[in-house]
Structure 1
Amino acid sequence: MKYGFIFGATLFAAAFIQPAAAQTEIKLGHVGEPGSLFALSADEFARAANEKLGDKAKVVVFGSSQLGTDEELMQKLRLGTADMALPSSVMSSVVPDFGLFEMPYLVKDREHMKKIEAAVVWPTLAPAAEEQGYKMLAVWENGFRHITNNKRPIVTPEDLSGIKLRTPSGEWRVKMFQAYGANPTPMSFSEVFTALQTGVVDGQENPLTQIASGKFQEVQDYLSMTGHVYTPAYLLVGLNRWNGLPEDVRQILEETAKETQAFVYESAERLEGELLAQMQEESDIQVNEADKDAFIAASDAIYKEFGTQVEGGAGMIEKAISLGKSQ
């Protein structure tokens, strides 16, 4: 009897004990390697967001293309098989309006970028992204892009003649380098080191933080400081996933994403100086300044084509340039 009573009481108690609800996991994927600005930005965002979220949800970061390439992540966001991503150049392949940030020498500096963000990104680009199934939470940074290669220093566009240059996917980056005389080859970031090492391509173009974290200086002879394009990075959530999250979780994620921008910009500015010195000290890569005026002069056709091919493109370009003149 005694044991029967205990057993029955145990069953009775178990019927009223509810299992603890599993914590909602929000997976954030990006292609950056450890030490890259992408990695630093995503990790800082996750740290700050998780501190506020408590047991409501948890942001978990997967870098180094663990959840897929940029292209794959964009598909997964739309399908709902990934939660968050940090794309950059690939956005122009998904939403044509984002080709604005493929225009060479458009963004002067981060203060200029903040003005473009307020006047163009949120009123125009964010709604365009939402129409394609993406909720944009914040504008962060990939950075000012420079060219590395194994053929020669790049001083003017003519120096790119015949060079096989890896680019991200995106028609405007390809068109730009074709106009400069290079042979651009779109390729996923995760494939670039091997392609450089084996000579599949002669060079690539990226911000210093991506060059250094990807260790491209180990397999490249020349680094040319062209600064030809400034690429923002965008913290995105798939719209269906976003709409399925509790309102308080959405609010914390959105607020923290925007607050993280200050950390991103400060880190980017610091890394620009540190990484250039570090690469020169730790490798044999030769660094040279480019003739930016020559590159700007060779860029007119790209601006005109974007202005006519993308609806509203000319207006966006005009507004972005005018915001730089007021500085």
Structure 2
Amino acid sequence: MKLLRLLVSLLAFVTLAPASVRAEPVELKFGHVGEPGSLFALSAEEFAKRANAKLADKYKVVVYGSSQLGGDKELLQKLKLGTVDFALPSTVMSSEVDAFGIFEMPYLVKDREHMKRIEKEVVWPKLAPLAEKKGLKIIAVWENGYRHVTNNKRPIQKPEDLQGIKLRVPEGKWRVKMFQAYGANPSPMKFSEVFTALQTGVMDGQENPFAQIYSAKFQEVQKYLSLTGHVYTPAYVTVGLKKWNQLPAEVRKVLEETAKETQAFVYQTAERFDTELLEKLKAAGMQVNTPDKDAFIAASKPVYEEFGKEVAGAKEMIDRAIALGK
């Protein structure tokens, strides 16, 4: 009899308990490699805030930055396995799909308006379907940014100044080929390991946008900042296709629309960082110089030629992207 009364009491509690007690929202994990205050962090947090306001406590986007859920390659693998829901890959996408190496081609993207046109006419019709064949779905295009070289040896004025410099690059083969063409000694490395590598002299330098340089405190362990602007790298809001398709259609719609809407915030923040963070890096004591970009453009021709020959459809994509900048 006592057991029966207990069961009745428990049933009454469950029935009368508020919804928040009965069912916690389903957590959607968003992993990225950016440090607090980076463009990645601010972008992902803005997206989560907007999405969560629309998801009515049934689902909740939770952001894990600073490589907490793994480096770029691990995050892509976890998307496919379904243990992470969103990631924000950039350069690393070219290690999954060679055609994404188009954004490793030096001095291809003139500005963000040009990038918007490339997104519309190259990313969505050409690149996104190739990612889906690998089990990855891009739901929006954000930004990593214009990349610049930092190092502890000397100011980089021309490609030959990179001769022999041990340079950390992201995990994507075309960035390696680019810096080999310039004469550097590039080595792929996880972003989370870069500060220590620079501090200990394992690496002489690295290349990243201002937002990544400043938020990762590379100014504390690097002397020279050369404004090469050699590559503009987009970042892709990416999900694992298998798990994505298991979400209710209305949830997918909210998440996809919100990710695309957030692009305007990303671009505005990135534009502000272009000036603000450069001043902060100068104030931190970095010696800044403006290199001879024409010399870098001339040294980049072999990379374009190799990419055009090696990757199916690459030449047509490059020609289209360049035409969209005219």
Q: CA deviation at 1:168?
A: 0.3
- Verify: 1:123 aligned to 2:122, yes or no: no
- The equivalences for 1:3-22 within 5 A come to 9-10=8-9, 13=12, 20-22=22-24
Which sits farther off after the overlay, 201-210 or 78-87?
78-87
Partner in structure 2 of residue 272 of structure 1 = 274
The 5-angstrom pairing of residues 1-327 of structure 1 reads: 9-10=8-9, 13=12, 20-281=22-283, 283-325=284-326
TM-score by length of 2: 0.96
Contact 1:145/1:206 (<8 A) preserved: yes
In 2: Cα distance, 1:5 partner to 1:162 partner: 79
Give me the whole-angstrom Cα distance separating, in 2, the residues matched to 1:180 and 1:224.
14
Please state how far the C-alpha of 1:15 moved relative to its aligned partner: 8.3
AA at the equivalent of 1:175:
K
Question: 1:285 deviation in Å?
Answer: 1.1
Matched residues in 2 for 1:218 and 1:145: separation? 18
**What do residues 242-262 of structure 1 show as CA deviations (whole Å, max 9, x unaligned)?**
001011110000000000000
Q: Give the aligned CA root-mean-square deviation in angstroms.
A: 1.8
Structure 1 window deviating more from structure 2 (21-30 vs 202-211): it is 21-30
In structure 1, runs of 5+ residues without a counterpart are none
Mapped partners of 1:104, 1:5: distance in 2? 74
Change (3 A) 1:4 1:293: closer
Deviation at 1:169, TM superposition (A): 1.0
Distance 1:158 1:200 in 2: 21
State the Cα deviation string for residues 14-45 of structure 1 (Å, max 9, x = none): 68679823321100000000010000000000
Alpha-carbon distance in structure 2 between the residues aligned to 1:63 and 1:71: 15
TM-score (norm 1): 0.95
| Structure 1 position 7, deviation (Å) | 5.4
Q: Shift in Å at residue 13 of structure 1?
A: 4.0
Give the secondary-structure state (helix, strand or coil) at the position aligned to 1:136.
Answer: strand
Report % sequence identity: 68
The answer to whether the Cα contact below 8 Å between 1:56 and 1:249 also exists between their aligned partners in 2 is no
- The structure-2 alpha-carbon separation of the partners of 1:11 and 1:290, relative to structure 1 and needing over 3 Å to count, comes to closer
Deviation at 1:241, TM superposition (A): 1.1
Counterparts of 2:224 and 2:13 in 1: how far apart (Å)?
A: 69
- Secondary structure of the residue aligned to 1:223 is strand
Question: Tell me, which stretches of 5 or more residues in structure 2 are unaligned?
Answer: none
